[in-house]
A and B are shown apart, each in its own frame.
Chain A
Amino acid sequence: MRFVDEFREPELITKAAHEIRRLADPRRHYRLMEICGGHTHAIYRFGLNDLLPPNIELIHGPGCPVCVLPMGRIDDGLSMTQDPNVIFTAFGDMMRVPGTQGSPLEYKARGADVRIVYSPADALKLAQSNPDRHVMFFAIGFETTAPSTALTLMRARAQGVRNFYVFCNHVTIIPAIRAILESPEMRLDAFIGPGHVSTVIGCRPYEWIARQAGKPIVVSGFEPLDLLESIMMVLRQLNDGRAQVENQYKRAVLGEGNRAALKAMADVFEPRPFFEWRGMGFIAQSALRLRECFAEFDAELRFRIPGIRVTDPKAAQCGEVLTGALKPNQCRLFGKECTPEQPVGALMVSAEGSCAAYYSYEHRKAALTVLAPAL
């Protein structure tokens, strides 16, 4: 398969792993945060931790949009399904995320009209083919998915669709990184920068991380070789005492980003003064809402939203895991009360959530004695 197999070539991966071991100074401990949940998933999926020397520690960042959404927003979104005329649509990732009264799938099992869509455009199509129903799209995601929501809203307006609404939960990555760097317990050496987000925003918004915070950041692709090469680039910067923004994912990411996507976002959305992130609290200017000129499509204005605030279960330590202060398996509930099948926190639901990835791919490996493939 082109653009995949080249980046999973065993021989090249082995070489890269050797180079990483050569570059890693045995007297140092390296704490690298991969910001993006897609990277977290790939690291576990491909068993990359097995290839790294023990003094390179990968810390999982907050770049999983489902995971950072507070439970109250899920309840708010699901409250709209009380109106039997509403069709609730969301990406598949959202479907098993628990609200206080159950996940969207549990609402569906109880009779609510809940449907999975693969893009906001599918939700718009659904609205057009069901003109007597209200179709609500539960929008989530960073700058990766926000442009498609924006373009869908522009299309809805151009086509005069009157029964399509967006419940906007889009968030932006830079304020979250700032919050992590300002957190007192944070001791990070460098970042693996998000790949998909950067295809939209480019590399420039990260400059302050290198200049002001003095931390190297390398924007990375998602295949094993991409991630290993990015780790190599980070190690070289750290060894040289440099702090720069570098782009490993050149085949997809341009320095200035995707101008058309950025313009669509700017036309449709404006920053919210504050937005709550699960485990991280309220972060200023960290989320998007619809501009006034799109008010007719704004589910928060069209429906009565209770504005529920729910504190996470006390024992759950999603916040500490989200900010990298705890490893997934160090949470009190991990693998006991909280499993992918019966999740307490969203980190255990989404494929990009570090707890789900750790649970699925890693945690029983502890008992492993033989590593070398025999076949």
Chain B
Amino acid sequence: MKEEFITTVNYSTLYEAVQSLKSLPRSAPKMGLGFGHFGLGKTFSLEKIAAMENAILLRAAQTWTKSSVLSDLCEELGVDTNGNGPIKYKRAIESLVSEPRVIIVDEIDALLRSSKFEVLEMFRDFHDETGVVIFFVGMEESNRKLKKHKHFYSRIVEFVEFQPIHKEDIESFCMLSDVVIKQDVVEYFIKKFPNLRQIKVLLIRLEKYCSLNDIEEVDLKTFKMSGAEYGDKK
């Protein structure tokens, strides 16, 4: 398979949302939320945006505390990580004011429990004090759960709901394969595997089968015959 980044519909929507937040005036709220099921390319899109925008991409964990987040943030900003919470907080604020950077927090679901909400509140403080864009990304329930916290939710001005993978995305993805994937296989993928992660595995198995059997084009019949769908369980 060719190694190429596909600009999926979901990625484009997310990228546009970040750009739109960046263009807002300093005084306007600039928080965003992306949510959706697994396998829709959320994390991969975030990685790409982080690389392009020089953004700080943090992945929330169940073990996160205010202190650990401050240390992580200070490290990413390249400021001293020693000292107590208020000192680290001040350093991070100063750094973000002098050199603003977009902050992206992935897997926000880990922070939506009442015991962890204080960490989210800290991000709100960063947002209010520095005016930088903070974009949260989580699973589909994160939108519903965040709604309960009205003062927080009111600052979120961009919402991106990750949609099931579009036909065009699957077509572009299949184009990266070393073998020609026929339209009936693409249709089958859309119906049965609307998830790029699964399709990638299928294509890799299919390529192996095709290279062993000297096949250059794959239609649905060949795909079924290859057993790529079932892997080793065939």
A and B interact: no
